[in-house]
Amino acid sequence: MPRLTTGVQIFHNGVPVELLYRVAQSKQGDAWRVRPLFVESPDRNDVFRPADRISFLHTMSAPRCASA
């Protein structure tokens, strides 16, 4: 499992969340306080296990076209 750090916006099993801080650590996984993104929902504790799908948000910008 990649090392997670606070303040990183990631997708945890396909759900976009913002990591706030780690609340627990064990051999089975780490529990993090997360803030769901794009929905009105309270902060919650999520357990991140090695088998989970974790991906980072990558942004790309296209060059601006010149106005005609």
Q: What is the pLDDT along the chain (68 residues), one digit of tens a residue?
A: 556 666 667 888 888 888 899 999 988 889 999 998 888 889 999 999 989 998 876 555 556 666 65
Q: Pairing between strand 15-25 and 30-36?
A: antiparallel
Domain of 51, in residue numbers = 9-56
- In a domain, residue 63? The reply is no
- In a domain, residue 41? The reply is yes
How many domains does one find in the chain? Answer: 1
Q: Token pair 């902060």 is at which residue?
A: 43
| pLDDT at residue 62, as a whole number | 57
Contact 16, 8 (CB under 8 A): no
- In a domain, residue 48? The reply is yes
- In a domain, residue 68? The reply is no
- In a domain, residue 67? The reply is no
Report the predicted TM-score, pTM, of the whole model to 2 decimal places: 0.67
